[in-house]
Amino acid sequence: MDLLKVTNLNKSYGKKSILKNISLECKTGEIIGVFGRNGTGKSTLLKLIFGTVKADSIQIKINSETIHQKDVISSKKIAYLPQGTFLPKEQKVRGVIPLFFPNGDDQDKIFYSPQVSSFEKIKVGELSLGQLRYLELLIIGNLNHLFLMLDEPFSMIEPIYKDVIKNLLIKLKESKGIILTDHYYNDVLEITDKNFILKETEKIQIMNKDDLVKHEYLRCPVLK
């Protein structure tokens, strides 16, 4: 088991405090869900841990090793799925895979993953949103990072691909720790082991949908 430990995380933009003294832990074998209304800092939190947004303060440790924020990307221990696509739209899927996986066996893992044969000849820009998000997750998930930060893996995705993505994430958590955020709360709660909500700069643990109502993320009554 590997442990990602983030402590003393503070972030403000100008005079506006976004996240105050946040701590969190994620183990390999675990998926953690992050909720919060628009603008509460969910994406910022993931980018701070990945190192692409500079923190006012943050300590990041993986097991006993401290990783400075500026060294997170080069350490190749934490990966990040941004909200927007990062793949070249004009390339066919079968041309994109070798860009990330020079080794033939590694490429095969992607090519023989469920569904990929149905869209490998298509250009990235012509994929459905579900196919595209799944391909991105397959690529990120098959690189060797221990921890994945995923920003909205389910948003606007057709139901069939949501299921394919959920199955992939459950498989990936066998060897990785995953922190994800998405407003599709039912999909998130279906696969997460722990959850929290960001509210007014703080992090509050969530046990179920009722807690999401209590903290004014959902309106009641919640159908069960």
C-alpha count within 13 angstroms, C-beta hemisphere, residue 106: 14
Q: How far is CA 83 from the centre of its chain?
A: 9
Task: Collect all residues with Cβ–Cβ distance below 8 Å to 82 and sequence separation of at least 6.
Answer: 151
Residue 212 Cβ, how far from ligand ATP at the closest point, in Å?
14
Binders of ligand ATP: how many residues, by CB under 6 A? 10
For ligand ATP, the closer CB: 37 or 89: 37
* Closest of 141, 142, 144, 147 to residue 3, by C-alpha: 147
Residue 38 Cβ, how far from ligand ATP at the closest point, in Å?
4
For position 42 contacting ligand ATP by CB under 6 A, the verdict is yes
For ligand ATP, the closer CB: 113 or 201: 201
Residue 85 Cβ, how far from ligand ATP at the closest point, in Å?
16
CB atoms closer than 10 angstroms to residue 44 = 18
Handedness of CA 186, 140, 85, 97 (dihedral sign): negative
Residue 41 Cβ, how far from ligand ATP at the closest point, in Å?
4
Residue 46 Cβ, how far from ligand ATP at the closest point, in Å?
8
Residue pair 213/220 in contact by the 8 Å Cβ criterion: yes
Residue type, 178: I
Single out the residue of 9, 22, 31, 41 in contact with ligand ATP (rule: CB under 6 A): 41
For ligand ATP, the closer CB: 100 or 184: 184
On the 0-12 / 13-18 / 19+ scale of CB atoms within 10 A, 99 is: exposed
For ligand ATP, the closer CB: 18 or 132: 18
Which positions from 7 through 36 interact with ligand ATP, judged by CB under 6 A? 13, 18, 36
For position 69 contacting ligand ATP by CB under 6 A, the verdict is no
Q: Can you tell me the distance from the alpha carbon of 69 to that of 56, in angstroms, rounded to the nearest whole number? A: 11
For position 39 contacting ligand ATP by CB under 6 A, the verdict is yes
Single out the residue of 35, 43, 147, 149 in contact with ligand ATP (rule: CB under 6 A): 43
Site for ligand ATP, rule CB under 6 A: 13, 18, 36, 38-44
